[in-house]
């Protein structure tokens, strides 16, 4: 094999396209001098995979996800879809067992689903994807051994459609973190998260695991943690679990957004602002046991900001901290 042929073969393997398509692209480049960008190659590769899966270009996300995961044996998954005729369907493949469940119809929810279906301009024969939850078989095995604590986070813009990705994680016996579920949620409303906790996680994990969950830590997203709280207690899917808010998301990131930006880059001002609020805010998350204690402590901080803070902090910083504490910081859930 000549050096030119070796180079061609190496480049074909790097394009992640079929040999025929790769050779055609490289010949066009060599003969006509037309180069393709990485984005163009990625698009062509994606369309080729869709064609290989037997899907039309008009296939919905639900069809693509089910088709791409249907032949995998190393992944457990559950998908919830809405069809105007069939209603809400929950399909799953867990440890090789395939199941399909039609959920009971609720007229209010059905109207919301139909509105979303119409907003996405889907035909009557197309399914609306609500939730796609998946995890590897190995992750499910580890979760069955260590289900007591779960932490979750909602990320945005992590894939090409810029939809929400709901990630759940926990720790094993060696204190090593691992994912125990990832959910693709195109529409992150509260009732969608409620269905995720009520049906999808129960299907993927099993009720034995959900009953053993003792603590769920969320990032402070209202739609997320309210849906979980509504699935706790007697009759819920997580009867023995309690909820807590993540200090990093709720306090640290919120402080950086609402206080650090007005303070600017002056390190002395930043340290003084942190010293003022640190012990108050940390006590609200880790030491206090009731809303009354939290509100009482908050009143002392606000009184100090209004009366004696001028000797320590500049007025615009005081106003930023006061606005943050009274408007943006919520260390306890609104039950």
169-223 pLDDT tens trace: 999 989 999 999 999 888 878 888 999 999 999 999 999 999 999 999 998 788 8
pLDDT higher than threshold 50 for residue 335: no
Residue 26 contacts residue 12 (beta carbons within 8 Å): yes
Task: Tokens for 148, please give them.
Answer: 């007591």
* Rounded alpha-carbon distances, angstroms, from residue 249 to 70, 256, 277, 285: 36, 10, 16, 12
Residue 133 contacts residue 115 (beta carbons within 8 Å): no
Q: Residue 98 — φ and ψ, nearest 5°?
A: -100, 130
For 212-264, write each residue's pLDDT tens digit: 999 999 987 888 888 999 999 998 999 999 988 888 888 888 888 888 876 66
| Sequence-ordered list of residues with C-beta below 8 angstroms from that of 231, at least 6 positions apart, any chain | 194, 197, 198, 237, 238
Q: Residue 327: is it exposed, middle or buried by C-beta count within 10 angstroms (0-12/13-18/19+)?
A: exposed
For 130-159, write each residue's pLDDT tens digit: 899 999 999 999 999 999 999 999 887 666
- Output Rg (C-alpha) for the chain, integer angstroms: 26
pTM of the model: 0.72
Q: Which of 164, 119, 120, 172 lies closest to 141, judged by CA?
A: 172
> Given this model, what pLDDT does residue 19 score?
61
What count of residues does the chain have? 335
Sheet hosting strand 87-94, strand order edge to edge: 97-102, 87-94, 75-83, 128-136, 177-185, 164-171, 149-156, 215-218, 242-245
For 264-290, write each residue's pLDDT tens digit: 657 787 788 888 788 888 888 888 777
For 41-92, write each residue's pLDDT tens digit: 666 666 666 565 555 555 666 667 777 777 788 899 999 888 877 788 898 8
The DSSP line for 198-235 is IIIHHHHH-HHHHHH--EEEE-S-HHHHHHHHTTBSTT
- SS3 (DSSP) at 178: strand
């Amino acid at each position: 094999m000549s050096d030119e042929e070796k180079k061609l073969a190496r480049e074909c393997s790097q394009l992640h396209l079929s040999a025929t398509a790769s050779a055609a692209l490289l010949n066009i480049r060599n003969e006509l001098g037309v180069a393709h960008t990485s984005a163009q190659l990625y698009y062509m590769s994606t369309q080729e995979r869709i064609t290989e899966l037997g899907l039309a270009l008009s296939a919905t996300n639900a069809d693509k996800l089910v088709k791409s995961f249907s032949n995998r044996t190393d992944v457990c998954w559950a998908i919830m879809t809405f069809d105007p005729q069939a209603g809400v369907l929950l399909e799953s493949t867990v440890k090789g067992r395939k199941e399909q469940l039609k959920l009971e119809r609720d007229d209010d929810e059905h109207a919301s689903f139909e509105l979303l279906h119409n907003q996405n301009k889907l035909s009557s024969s197309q399914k609306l994807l609500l939730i796609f939850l998946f995890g590897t078989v190995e992750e499910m095995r580890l979760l069955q051994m260590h289900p007591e604590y779960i932490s979750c986070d909602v990320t945005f813009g992590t894939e090409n459609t810029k939809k929400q990705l709901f990630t759940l994680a926990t720790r094993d016996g060696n204190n090593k973190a691992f994912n125990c579920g990832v959910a693709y949620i195109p529409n992150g409303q509260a009732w969608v998260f409620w269905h995720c906790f009520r049906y999808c996680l129960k299907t993927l994990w099993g009720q034995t695991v959900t009953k053993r969950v003792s603590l769920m830590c969320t990032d402070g997203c209202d739609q997320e943690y309210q849906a979980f709280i509504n699935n706790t207690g007697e009759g819920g899917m997580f009867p023995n679990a309690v909820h807590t808010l993540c200090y990093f998301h709720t306090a640290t990131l919120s402080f950086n957004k609402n206080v650090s930006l007005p303070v600017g880059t002056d390190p002395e001002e930043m340290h003084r602002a942190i010293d003022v609020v640190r012990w108050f805010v940390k006590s609200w998350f880790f030491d206090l046991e009731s809303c009354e204690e939290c509100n009482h402590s908050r009143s002392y901080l606000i009184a100090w900001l209004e009366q004696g803070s001028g000797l320590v902090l500049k007025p615009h910083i005081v106003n930023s901290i006061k606005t943050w504490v009274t408007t943006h910081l919520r260390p306890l859930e609104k039950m």
